[in-house]
A and B are shown apart, each in its own frame.
Chain A
Amino acid sequence: MKEKLQSIKEEAIRQIEASDVPEKLNEVRVKFLGKKGELTAVLKAMKDVAPEERPKVGQMVNETRAAIEELLEETKKNMERKIREERLKQEVIDVTLPSKKNMVGHSHPNTIAQEEVERIFIGMGYEVVEGPEIEYDLYNFEKLNIPADHPAKDEQDTFYINKDIVLRTQTSPVQARVMEEGRLPIRMISPGRVFRSDEVDATHSPSFYQIEGLVVDKKISFADLKGTLEVFAKELFGPETKTKFRPHHFPFTEPSAEMDVTCFKCGGKGCRFCKGSGWIEILGCGMVHPHVFEMCGIDPEEYTGFAFGVGLERIALLKYEIDDMRLLYENDIRFLKQF
């Protein structure tokens, strides 16, 4: 019996070693260990073994089975590893082949700029408010301290629908509307389309975008205006950005200022981009004129505030180095895809 088991084992080992694919191993398993396999046959033949011998034989059978199983298992693992390795070798791809992209659309550069500005101010607690694009003269001019016959009305080259209704020349009328609502304090920005009767060329468009900002509260100061816009400039153009405030004049703010930022191309050293000055003019701002408060029903003795207005195209053109404003309204997909 011992010899028999030994020869079964040897035969099994031989066949295992001779197997080249997992299927063959399986055949070996069935042949030796299966229900009708050779070892099972030995077990079945136990009844012919003397009872006192049986435990010993049983143990021998089990040992043989274990040895064959172990070898089968090990061989199978090795074989599978080899096969896996072989597969991996064959599956090498050229990773530099072109990608398969989904066609994804792009936002307009104006919108990207607008969202950046909105994100900065929403983070500082500003609400985004809209106003009508076709607006009463009253809100576009009068309530902003620009009475009839004011030279600013000429300067802005207004499109008129009739003598009382205009295409808004600025987003500032939204200021007046929000102030009139009278919910104080106010922290708002208002992005939107504005119109001026400029002929279309590389730097002018009769329709463009502005973002207006307004803060009204008790004890708001010019220092707050400077601080807020400095944060804005650093967020928009990078932490190294410096700001410079120059006196200016707007009818609806007093004191008024224009803000320059250090040229983001040369960092302020002076280059062709900033015409050698190191600075780029970016926005107009100032403390809300007390007369504007009065006209909008807010007590200028109790409240102060600041306002600013920034041209989105200006930011978009500067940030993305777009050299012709007309590109923004042509909607050529090759242009839009770059943003």
Chain B
Amino acid sequence: MNTSLSWIKAYVPDLDVTAQEYTDAMTLSGTKVENYEELDADLDKIVVGQIDKIEKHPDADKLIVCQVNVGTESIQIVTGAPNVKEGDKVPVVLAGGRVAGGHEPGSRVAGGIKIKKGKLRGIESNGMMCSIEELGSSRDMYPDAPENGIYILPQDTEVGADVVKLLGLDDVVFEYEITSNRVDCYSVVGIAREAAATFRKTFCPPQVTPTGNDEDVNDYIKVTVKDTDLCPRYCARVVKNIKIGPSPKWMQRRLASVGIRPINNLVDITNYVMEEYGQPMHAYDLDTIAGHEIIVKRAEEGEKFTTLDGQERQMDPSVLMICDGEKSVGIAGIMGGENSMITDDVKTMLFEAACFDGTNIRKSSKKVGLRTDASGKFEKGLDPNNAQAAIDRACQLVEELGAGEVVGGMVDVYGKKKEPVRVPFDADEINALLGTDISREDMLSYFRMIDLEYDEKTNEVIAPTFRHDLFRLADLAEEVARFYGYDNIPTTLPKGEATTGKLSFKLRIEEVARSVAEYCGFSQGMNYSFESPKVFDKLLLPADAPERRAISIMNPLGEDYSIMRTLSLNGMLTSLATNYNRRNKNVRLYELGNIYLPKELPLTELPEERMQFTLGMYGEGDFFSMKGVVEEFLEKAGLNQKEVYDPKAGKTFLHPGRQANIIYDGAVIGYLGEVHPDVADIYGIGERAYVAVIDMPEVVSRANFDRKYEGIARFPAVTRDISMVMPKEIMVGQVEKVIEDKGGQYLESYALFDLYEGAQIKEGHKSVAYSIVFRAKDRTLEEADVSKAMDAILGALEEMGIELRK
């Protein structure tokens, strides 16, 4: 929404503020000014001049030399303009002045162009005559300006007068951000009411006087509304003996100031009233209306309709149409039809000011694929009581402008009249809600300023129907706060019962994950929750993989963002690839983000959202570095038992010989491995990459922060080393399990200290050596204690076919 300052001042005559003051104060009272443009910011020293004499330039065919009377003096100006003649009155920028741009449309220059004295082909020129473009506007807004030439001013213009004022360029245009609850502020009158209240000035809205001749409009037109739910009110008036012509300059200027192109008096009046009252209107050529009858009803199934822009459009019964006795003549609230549009030959005209259901207009506008100024206003939900005010105002302007003869009376189809809402008033409660101490009288004075009445008898505030956002005390509190000033409300802190600030346990475990990852060199990445269904193929998942059961978005931004991810790996691999492509070395990333697992498809209840702790890296480090990070995390999260690694993880996207499920407490809590070279190729990662994915709910349910001091060993340990040769297929994990199972109560720890495959070891075997530590808490161990345990261990190992080396 835009308004010019001068148009606001028309209804708030005492308003005397700078553009910045207006912007600040209006924004603080709730009518946010996004920005403003001072139309004359780049215009300086521009006056009306009259051309007394024109001579040819002695050295240039296309130039002329003019003697121009600018009031105080006569100056010589050389110009190439083709359209001036002696006696013309024109805008003249004096030497030292500024214009907004060149004479080509759209050639504005930031800060304007300074005009200096100079010589053109040897002849002195002391100023410049201006086109409308040089004045910063356009022929669209000043239709009387010639194409490609100097703007010729009317003959009755006073020589020497300020052109900026004369053309209404001494104005400021404000652009507002109007919130959806304040439909009334999509009008100049609505904003002027707010401005008057904000600056505590008198609000003088237009005074609409009765219009019309002795005839009865009902003799001209009959209106039937079939779908009253979609059209709560339909007002119609008729104007005959129409004289089409230009609208007056003041109206053209106001329209131009808000970016509306003046066309002719009738179009300008409808546009003017739409801006002024926020009520779109439509004009039909009454002679094209069959049967002089208007019927408001839903479109026929499959109906095609040509709008006045010449486009044929497809309708359906959800779209409301304006019809005459035979045919459709307009899409209600959106655009009229080509078949009933006003032409220059129009004699009698039907004015329509209606109220349509906002939601229906919004949906129809989308369906028809046509959004107009009118539909933009209707879709916000207009006040039916405003329709009559607007149509009467339009007829008043028709009479004032001599555009035609208004027929007496109005056809008004208005079912259930919209009544004002009455809101019980309680000053104490408003003060309690705001934390203020504002007097009851002050509150009532704020209400009066914005046309809210107060009923003393019932102690109710009566909200006018144009304010469809006021229903209860909280709404009144906002009105009070706005005009008391949000800035004047004190600042306090909530009192009352103390509460404990804390993170949830889940978030604390995530914090542990993050700190471990970061200490291990991993930086945090973030990926979208939605991705392409193609990722399943990229990860080589079989057709029946459960991961392919993903939730689809009905209206995605495109296929690449169309399903909710069921595994977190795609984002990680994509990020590693991005880094690889950019030649980043030694990349380590982690992510904490959800996957979304549907309980059933299509979704009938919310899916399970499972937080995944995903780690990925390439460069320095290998499978076992990644395994170390996983174990550091699990240990820090209080999962103190030993993890089991099952190499049969069955992950298609991981190296078949370098992957494992991480099993804790009998449950699979995640997996890790080297990225399958085929998958690395698909993503474009040119190095060995390693990933680990930890299913956080499994960790959170087992995590704890309980720690108990176990004492520091006081008695000496006994260490035994064993060295063995075993088939390659036996994993050291199996050896460790034996040590744990058979190690007995004094087993303290064990560690792999040698692993060798090669020349001295027989084919298909490896040499493995462990160091095993025993210790008792309460005494020095004796040989017997240790050898008993060692015998058990060695015996069990031998049973597995492991050969012990002495």
- The verdict on A144 contacting chain B, using a C-beta distance below 8 Å, is no
Tell me the total A-B contact number using a CB cutoff of 8 A.
Answer: 252
Instruction: Give the residues from 546 to 579 in chain B that come closer than 8 angstroms, CB to CB, to chain A.
Output: 551-557, 561, 564, 575, 578-579
Surface stretch bound by A, among B235-243, B321-329, B587-595: B587-595
Complex CA gap A45/B258 in Å reads 127
Q: Mark B372-397, 1 if CB is under 8 A from A, else 0.
A: 00000001100000000000000000
Complex CA gap A180/B179 in Å reads 29
A119 CB to nearest chain B CB (Å): 9
Contact indicator B487/A245 (Cβ below 8 Å)? yes
**Residues of chain A with a CB closer than 8 A to B589's CB:** 331, 333, 336
Between A108, A254, A257, A329, the greatest number of chain B beta carbons within 10 A of the residue's beta carbon is seen for A254
- The verdict on B362 contacting chain A, using a C-beta distance below 8 Å, is yes
Surface stretch bound by A, among B433-441, B749-757, B785-793: B433-441
Partner pick for B491 among A132, A133, A136, A226, CB 8 A cutoff = A226
Q: Mark A93-120, 1 if CB is under 8 A from B, else 0.
A: 0000000001111111011000000100
Complex CA gap A118/B503 in Å reads 9
**Residues of chain A with a CB closer than 8 A to B527's CB:** 329, 331
Partner pick for A105 among B486, B492, B522, CB 8 A cutoff = B522
Contact indicator A247/B588 (Cβ below 8 Å)? no
Contact indicator B436/A223 (Cβ below 8 Å)? yes
- Decide: A231 near B555, CB < 8 A? Known: A149-B359, A244-B487, A257-B486: no
**Residues of chain A with a CB closer than 8 A to B494's CB:** 187, 215, 217, 220, 224, 227-228
Contact indicator B578/A331 (Cβ below 8 Å)? yes
**Residues of chain A with a CB closer than 8 A to B519's CB:** 104-105
Contact indicator B504/A223 (Cβ below 8 Å)? no
Instruction: Give the residues from 456 to 473 in chain B that come closer than 8 angstroms, CB to CB, to chain A.
Output: 469, 472-473
**Residues of chain A with a CB closer than 8 A to B495's CB:** 219
Contact indicator A247/B432 (Cβ below 8 Å)? no
**Residues of chain A with a CB closer than 8 A to B553's CB:** 159-161, 167
- Decide: A231 near B551, CB < 8 A? Known: A125-B499, A125-B500, A246-B32: no
> Taking CB as reference atom, which chain B residue is nearest A205?
B528
Q: Mark B503-540, 1 if CB is under 8 A from A, else 0.
A: 11011000000100111111111111110000000000
Complex CA gap A330/B490 in Å reads 44
B178 CB to nearest chain A CB (Å): 9
Q: What is the size, in residues, of chain B's interface with A at 8 Å between Cβ atoms? A: 91
Complex CA gap A128/B475 in Å reads 30
**Residues of chain B with a CB closer than 8 A to A245's CB:** 486-487, 489
Contact indicator B497/A217 (Cβ below 8 Å)? yes
Instruction: Give the residues from 301 to 354 in chain B that come closer than 8 angstroms, CB to CB, to chain A.
Output: none
Contact indicator A228/B362 (Cβ below 8 Å)? no
- Decide: A336 near B523, CB < 8 A? Known: A126-B501, A154-B362, A254-B474: yes
- The verdict on A130 contacting chain B, using a C-beta distance below 8 Å, is yes
**Residues of chain A with a CB closer than 8 A to B525's CB:** 108, 331, 336
- The verdict on A268 contacting chain B, using a C-beta distance below 8 Å, is no
Contact indicator B555/A105 (Cβ below 8 Å)? no
- The verdict on A256 contacting chain B, using a C-beta distance below 8 Å, is yes
- The verdict on A332 contacting chain B, using a C-beta distance below 8 Å, is yes
- Decide: A246 near B27, CB < 8 A? Known: A132-B606, A185-B499, A222-B433: yes
- Decide: A125 near B491, CB < 8 A? Known: A130-B507, A329-B527: no
- The verdict on B215 contacting chain A, using a C-beta distance below 8 Å, is no
A207 CB to nearest chain B CB (Å): 5
Contact indicator A207/B529 (Cβ below 8 Å)? yes
Contact indicator A231/B493 (Cβ below 8 Å)? yes
> Taking CB as reference atom, which chain A residue is nearest B500?
A125
Partner pick for B435 among A122, A223, A248, CB 8 A cutoff = A223
- Decide: A247 near B482, CB < 8 A? Known: A105-B520, A127-B502, A254-B474: yes
Q: Mark A280-307, 1 if CB is under 8 A from B, else 0.
A: 0000000101110000000000001000
Complex CA gap A206/B530 in Å reads 10
**Residues of chain B with a CB closer than 8 A to A200's CB:** 557
**Residues of chain A with a CB closer than 8 A to B719's CB:** none
- The verdict on B213 contacting chain A, using a C-beta distance below 8 Å, is no
Contact indicator A136/B434 (Cβ below 8 Å)? no
A53 CB to nearest chain B CB (Å): 57
- The verdict on B181 contacting chain A, using a C-beta distance below 8 Å, is yes
Q: Mark A151-185, 1 if CB is under 8 A from B, else 0.
A: 11011000111100101000000000000000001
- Decide: A135 near B606, CB < 8 A? Known: A206-B557, A247-B29, A249-B179: yes
> Taking CB as reference atom, which chain A residue is nearest B35?
A275
**Residues of chain A with a CB closer than 8 A to B551's CB:** 134, 161
- The verdict on A221 contacting chain B, using a C-beta distance below 8 Å, is yes
Contact indicator B489/A222 (Cβ below 8 Å)? yes
- The verdict on A14 contacting chain B, using a C-beta distance below 8 Å, is no
Contact indicator B521/A102 (Cβ below 8 Å)? yes
Mostly, the A contact residues are mixed
- The verdict on A60 contacting chain B, using a C-beta distance below 8 Å, is no
Contact indicator A290/B477 (Cβ below 8 Å)? no
- The verdict on B28 contacting chain A, using a C-beta distance below 8 Å, is yes
Contact indicator B504/A129 (Cβ below 8 Å)? yes
Instruction: Give the residues from 20 to 58 in chain A that come closer than 8 angstroms, CB to CB, to chain B.
Output: none
A178 CB to nearest chain B CB (Å): 12
Contact indicator B606/A221 (Cβ below 8 Å)? no
Complex CA gap A258/B180 in Å reads 15
- The verdict on B711 contacting chain A, using a C-beta distance below 8 Å, is no
Contact indicator A290/B472 (Cβ below 8 Å)? yes
**Residues of chain A with a CB closer than 8 A to B447's CB:** none
> Taking CB as reference atom, which chain A residue is nearest B588?
A105
Complex CA gap A24/B552 in Å reads 88
Contact indicator B481/A127 (Cβ below 8 Å)? no
**Residues of chain A with a CB closer than 8 A to B556's CB:** 159
Contact indicator A105/B529 (Cβ below 8 Å)? no
10 smallest CB-CB distances across A and B, nearest first, come from A223-B435, A221-B435, A247-B30, A331-B525, A255-B478, A249-B179, A103-B521, A122-B501, A331-B575, A105-B518
Residues of B at the A interface (CB closer than 8 Å) are 27-30, 32, 179-182, 358-359, 362, 379-380, 432-436, 469, 472-475, 477-478, 481-482, 486-487, 489-504, 506-507, 514, 517-530, 551-557, 561, 564, 575, 578-579, 582, 584, 586-590, 593-594, 596, 602-603, 606-607, 609, 620
With A130-B507, A219-B432, A220-B494 given, can you name 18 additional A-B contacts, CB distance below 8 Å?
Answer: A104-B519, A111-B524, A122-B503, A133-B596, A134-B607, A149-B359, A151-B379, A185-B496, A195-B530, A199-B557, A206-B561, A207-B528, A221-B432, A223-B434, A226-B489, A227-B494, A247-B486, A304-B433
Of the A-B pairs whose beta carbons lie under 8 Å apart in the complex, a sample of 11, sorted by A's number, is A104-B518, A107-B514, A132-B606, A132-B609, A134-B564, A162-B554, A199-B557, A220-B496, A221-B435, A247-B30, A331-B575
